[in-house]
Amino acid sequence: MTVTTLTDAAKPQTVALPARTGSGKRYSHALSLTLIAPLVVLMGFGFLYPVGKLLLGSVLNPAPGLDTYRRLLNSTLYLTVLLRTFEVAAIVTLASLILGYPVGYAMAKLPRKWALVTTACVLVPLWTSVLVRSYAWIVLLQRKGVVNELLLDLGWITHPLQLIYTEGAVIMAMTHVLLPYTILPIFAAIRGIPGELSQAARNLGANGPSVVWRIILPLSLPGVFAGSLMTFILALGFYVTPALVGGPRTMLMATLIGQQTTETLDWAFAGALSAVLLASTLAFVVIFRKTLSFNRGFAGVS
């Protein structure tokens, strides 16, 4: 009988690995404060100071008190504008989600060549000025614009339709401008889902729609939440597109605040409007976040 033995050279060797250290270099507190000081100064003088001064002016000018807030609450006009702003923002967010989820899914799942084409279609408008895109909608929707001329040539209408300066035009234009902010978080969430999960589901007999509904959609909910929340917040404070495409008939809170500061020069009332919009936005975000955090798909962002 032959006995095989391991020589010392063949025996597995134990190699001592160096102790793991932090991947980032440690800096002193003084150097860290020095590095972030320009950003703090920029945020302080470029954002916190003007916003704080505007909000303080709403309770200090022309005299200390809450007269500007009473004026706001006693007028149905301003409350109607506030409700319309939330309504338009909610519709734009829903429309962006419905249109953006398939695009984000396609960007994550299509072959590389077509995924690059889809990504370019999403990013190129994002790099274009909001002002340019808003004027493009005016060219399309005005009485002698592309849409009315096309409908007249086809014989579907006998006179130009009122497409511009309507709430529908504002919703379409805002959806077009804000759509990338919904698509990109959804794309990142879907791309981070391991492909083995979908493959395992198909091996167990699940078809394509079932895989999307039971696996892809629940695991991509954090991206849906992030994109929807970002789109909603941006829509609440949107100014350029509603002012150009909507006109005075579809005034939103941002347009009303701009009117108070540039036309009537009532800075105190503009500050009160800003404070109400800011408080309403923060309250909605907190409620929305807490409500959706009960879902297991949002456990990672609660």
Q: What is the pLDDT of residues 78-106, one digit of tens each?
A: 888 989 999 999 999 999 999 999 999 98
Q: Cis link prior to 62 (omega < 30° from 0)?
A: yes
Cα separation, 79 vs 69, whole angstroms? 11
Token match 């506030």: residue? 82
Residue 14 per-residue DSSP state: P
- Could you write out the DSSP letters of every residue in 245-293? IIGGGG--HHHHHHHHHHTS--HHHHHHHHHHHHHHHHHHHHHHHHHHT
112/193 Cα distance (integer angstroms)? 17
Q: pLDDT at position 300, please? A: 42
Say if residues 271 and 256 touch (Cβ distance below 8 Å): no
Q: Is residue 110 part of a domain?
A: yes
Spans of the chain, pLDDT less than 50: 1-7, 9-12, 15, 17, 23, 297-302
Q: What is the reported pLDDT for 301?
A: 41
Distances from the Cα of 83 to the Cα of 70, 77, 137, 236, angstroms:
17, 10, 25, 11
47 part of a folded domain: no
In a domain, 258, yes or no: no
Q: CA 126, CA 121: separation in Å to the nearest integer?
A: 9
Dihedral, CA atoms, 145, 151, 152, 153, nearest 10 degrees? 100
Position 43 in a domain = no
Burial grade of 63 (CB within 10 A; 0-12, 13-18, 19 or more): exposed
CATH number for the domain harbouring residue 161: 1.10.3720.10
pLDDT at position 227: 92
Task: Find the domain containing 113 and state its range.
Answer: 78-250
Give the pTM: 0.80
What stretches of the chain show up as alpha helix (H) in DSSP?
Answer: 29-43, 49-60, 67-73, 76-109, 112-127, 130-141, 146-154, 167-191, 195-203, 208-211, 217-219, 221-236, 240-241, 253-262, 267-292
Q: Identify whether 143 is part of a domain.
A: yes
3-state SS class at 192:
coil
Query: Which has the closest alpha carbon to 163: 182, 181, 190, 145?
Result: 145
**Can you give the pLDDT at residue 193?**
87
Residue 286 lies in a domain: no
Q: How high is the pLDDT of residue 50?
A: 84
* Number of domains into which the chain is organized: 1
285 located within any domain = no
**Residue 25: inside a domain, yes or no?**
no
